[in-house]
Amino acid sequence: MSLSDADKCEKGVQTMTRTEQFSILFHEQEDCREVEQMQKIEEMNGLIDEMNEIEFKSIFTKELFDKIYRMIEKKILSLESAILLLKHVGYFRELKTIYLESIDYSLLSERMKEMMIDENEKKKERNEKILTDICECYALLIEVSIPKKLLSIVVPCLLKVALKKDETDEAQKEVEMSLPALGNIGFWEIEQKLYLNEIKEIIEYHQEHQNLTRLAYQSAWQFLMNRFYNDRTLEEVITNELHFSKEAKELKDLSKYVDWKRKEERKGEREAKEVLAIWRWFFVIDNYFCFCKLWNEELVGLINSFAQMLRASRDNYPDISHQCLYSLRSAAEKRNVEIDNFLKSGTIDAVLEEIQQPTINDDIMWNGLLFFLIISERLKEEDEESEVKRNATKMKIFEKMEEEGYEDFIESFREMFDFLNRYSVNQLSIIISDYFLNA
């Protein structure tokens, strides 16, 4: 080939889209030996890292996963080559929090289930690496819950890898792959003996040595919080042994790297990563707010982080603002958070500011009104022994509402009765001050 021909060829490759380049490399697998397959898959993985969500989903369809299954069965594609690709696909999906259900009902998904069971039953002849690789691929890629019969295989297998403390790059890469796979396991009830000591050790070791990436660490918490859904005995471990509220203070640190004044579509690559990390913490923290009833002083700091982020994200990140308000509403429902803590943390101020905005959507107004409805109902329910404290708290809230434009605030409640009735909420007194002064 002449130099000019080579230049033309190079230019042609550059003008192809990433999805086109990926498709060509994928179809070339059928005519390659294993070494060449591995090389091409490394190129494919590099292309995946540059893809956006639309490109990624357009490539990884049910049809493609069925094709991979047939290629493995016909020995066109080696299992090792397929694992190299599938692990990367799953990790990328978790890193970018992309919802990808195309594999769930594919032939490849069914085959991976069979392979895990078959390999596990070999006992002495079992290939631990192959079993681990398949467990990781399956758990990273699946969107629906893992079948319960597979949990006793998948969970111990992945935890064994995640517990490795070998500081080599290869060992650390395995750890970083196994934890997002664990974090993707749904809300199945799992016996504590299968996971609790191990996941505690992983979290505590990171707290001391900072050995995990943010995704891996968040995934460890996500796995534990998913267990909390069915097992309330984990409250003490999560709250007072592992100090979750203190760890989730990273929300405050993450928010420092986000330019909240810049429109979301203009954010840079690092900023986009920080926003994704914030969303992953949201998923974990929501479980905590929903299920935990134990009080811990560290919880005030966590609530304060949400209040600060609610203010910061208001103009250009409406989804984050809405999520913050929803989480604060969930926190208000928990009797383990004293109402006075919402004053100390600045939450009352932040929610007042939010629902007095000149333009506001129904979801924001709904959650803001419910926040105050919950607070007011709780102020009425306190026992008699706390009457002095209760009245003092009501007076503080009243004063705060006066400072922030009390009359306008009361009027905004009156104007929202049609809205409340649409949602079948009619318990709110038209004299709002009754809740905070005379309840």
Q: Read off the pLDDT of residues 241-260 as tens digits, 9 standing for 90 and up.
A: 999 988 877 787 888 778 88
Mean per-residue pLDDT over the chain, rounded = 83
What is the pLDDT at residue 381?
67
Mean pLDDT, residues 153-182: 93
What is the pLDDT at residue 297?
79
73, part of any domain: no
156, part of any domain: no
H or E segment at 246? helix 244-247
127, part of any domain: no
38, part of any domain: no
Indicate the pLDDT class of residue 186, thresholds 50, 70 and 90. Answer: confident
57, part of any domain: no
Out of 205-209, 297-301, 417-421, least confident range: 417-421
Mean pLDDT, residues 315-342: 84
What is the pLDDT at residue 401?
64
| Res. 236: pLDDT tops 80 | yes
What tokens appear for 80 in the block?
């090792």
Indicate the pLDDT class of residue 8, thresholds 50, 70 and 90. Answer: very low
Question: In this prediction, what percent of the chain has a pLDDT beyond 90?
Answer: 44
Out of 5-9, 16-20, 145-149, 287-291, least confident range: 5-9
What tokens appear for 113 in the block?
């289930």
What tokens appear for 401 in the block?
């509402």
Indicate the pLDDT class of residue 30, thresholds 50, 70 and 90. Answer: confident
pTM here?
0.84
What is the pLDDT at residue 382?
56
What is the pLDDT at residue 196?
97
Domains of the chain: total: 1
136, part of any domain: no
390, part of any domain: yes
Q: Residue 396 and residue 400: Cα distance in Å, rounded?
A: 6
37, part of any domain: no
Q: What is the CATH number of the domain that holds 374?
A: 1.25.10
Best-predicted range by mean pLDDT (91-95, 339-343, 415-419): 91-95
Q: Burial, 209: exposed, middle or buried (Cβ in 10 Å; 0-12, 13-18, 19+)?
A: exposed
| Res. 10: pLDDT tops 90 | no
pLDDT tens digits, 264-291? 566 666 678 888 889 999 989 888 888 8
Domain of 247 in residue numbering reads as 232-439
Nearest one of 407, 404, 395 to 431, comparing CA atoms: 407
Mean pLDDT, residues 151-174: 92
Mean pLDDT, residues 215-237: 94
Amino acid at the residue 392: A
Q: Residue 212 and residue 384: Cα distance in Å, rounded?
A: 49
For residues 13 and 21, the answer to whether their CB atoms sit within 8 Å is yes
Q: Residue 328 and residue 395: Cα distance in Å, rounded?
A: 21
What is the pLDDT at residue 136?
96
For residues 255 and 312, the answer to whether their CB atoms sit within 8 Å is yes
What is the pLDDT at residue 3?
47
| Res. 74: pLDDT tops 60 | yes
